[in-house]
Amino acid sequence: MELFEILGFAGALLIGVVLGLIGGGGSILTVPVLVYLLHINPVTATAYSLFVVGVSSLVGALKNIQKGLVDFKTAIVFSIPAFIAVYGTRKYLLPAIPETLFQVGDFTVTKDIGIMVFFAIIMLLASVSMIRGRCKNCDDDTAKVEYNFPLIILEGLVVGVLTGIVGAGGGFLIIPALVMLAKLPMKKAVATSLLIIAIKSLIGFLGDVQNLAIDWDILLSFTALSVVGIFVGIWLSKFIKGSNLKKSFGWFVVVMGLYILYKELLG
């Protein structure tokens, strides 16, 4: 096994540990690890990421269901447009994107470069929510849950398309939407978002099974290490406060996003 492969699978474990420690964000590293360490092309990497994110989120969602933290009504309303959008994006939209997007002088912007640049932008947006931290009034467990159905459905469609393109879970978009549009308290929003992410990611992956050749040995090994990492992260969270790490991880995501932009556009 080459050094980059060892680092890639170590990255899978790290992704799980981050998810277990801070409840989200780790999945944003899945595509860069798959592309730059395991040398998987970006389209396939985003497909693998959907599976890894889906399984990892499902593990977290099942734990939260046991605790009674998941709001199933909100999850269903959000998930239906999201999984329709992500499935359609993976099965029809991505294959329809041409291999060469456009040319600037001697520089050709290919489909793979476009996906990675778009992914880097999403990483930078995600880092902002991590660095800022939680909103001040989001932990009111006595607040009445209200539903703005049209906006929840619209947000579900938008998140579904973004997830389909970049293969990330989109928790940084879903959680604020659940807090603002469904008036869920933060703990319930985080728990419910994991179920939504699991459903839409795994259904989106089904759109890829029909279009791509899947290396199940690599994918299942990577996913298994991520799930092990989640339990390690949950254990470590007894000793380390996840909220303290979230801001630091946000800055790390900034560096990763800028590195991807440099490597794809200037490297």
Phi-psi region of 168 (alpha: psi -120 to 50; beta: other; left: phi over 0): beta
pLDDT: which is higher, 148 or 106: 106
- Per residue in 148-173, pLDDT (tens digit) is 778 888 888 988 888 888 777 677 67
| pLDDT exceeds 80 at position 231 | yes
CB atoms within 10 A of CB 254: 17
Question: In the prediction, which pLDDT does 133 show?
Answer: 66
Per-residue pLDDT band at 242 (split at 50, 70, 90): low
Distance of alpha carbon 221 from alpha carbon 226, whole angstroms: 9
Q: At residue 103, what are phi and psi to the nearest 5 degrees?
A: -130, 135
pTM of structure: 0.80
Task: Give the three-class secondary structure for 53.
Answer: helix
- Per residue in 12-63, pLDDT (tens digit) is 998 888 877 766 666 688 889 999 999 999 989 989 998 998 898 898 889 8
Question: In the prediction, which pLDDT does 99 show?
Answer: 92
Six-digit token string for 71 = 């709001």
| pLDDT exceeds 80 at position 180 | no
- Per residue in 115-144, pLDDT (tens digit) is 899 989 988 887 887 787 655 545 555 556
Question: In the prediction, which pLDDT does 26 show?
Answer: 65
Question: In the prediction, which pLDDT does 23 show?
Answer: 64
Q: What is the mean pLDDT of the chain?
A: 84
Distance of alpha carbon 8 from alpha carbon 221, whole angstroms: 11
Per-residue pLDDT band at 87 (split at 50, 70, 90): confident
Burial class (CB in 10 A: 0-12, 13-18, 19+), 158: middle
Report the first-to-last Cα separation within the chain, whole angstroms.
26
Look-up: residue for tokens 């993976």?
A: 90
